[in-house]
């Protein structure tokens, strides 16, 4: 299985974390929601797998391209 890094597409603040280590996710599932300029942007996975690690918590700042979670796909 491959380790897949899930990255934020925008700079902002983590508003909500939907997944935790051990969760099974499917393609299109939201892992984290990032708030930027009063908009909520979901960070989704394009691959199915098991969440190995979530690297952010709610209220954490995130940069565009920052890895927010790792899944085993």
Q: Any idea what the CATH number is for the domain that residue 29 is in?
A: 2.40.50.100
Question: pLDDT, tens digit, for every residue of 34-69?
Answer: 999 999 999 999 999 999 999 999 999 999 999 999
Other beta carbons within 10 Å of 65: 11
Asked if 35 and 60 count as a contact pair (C-beta separation under 8 A), the reply is: no
Query: How many structural domains compose the chain?
Result: 1
Q: What is the pLDDT of residue 73?
A: 83
pLDDT at residue 1 tops 70: no
Which residue segment(s) compose the domain that 62 sits in? 3-72
Helix or strand run (H / E) with residue 40: strand 39-44
């Amino acid at each position: 299985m491959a380790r897949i890094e899930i990255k934020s597409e925008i700079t902002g603040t983590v508003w909500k974390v939907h997944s935790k280590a051990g969760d099974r996710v499917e393609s299109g599932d939201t892992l984290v929601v990032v708030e930027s300029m009063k908009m909520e942007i979901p960070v989704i996975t394009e691959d199915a797998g098991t969440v190995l690690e979530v690297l952010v918590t709610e209220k954490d700042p995130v940069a565009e391209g920052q890895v927010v979670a790792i899944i085993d796909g």
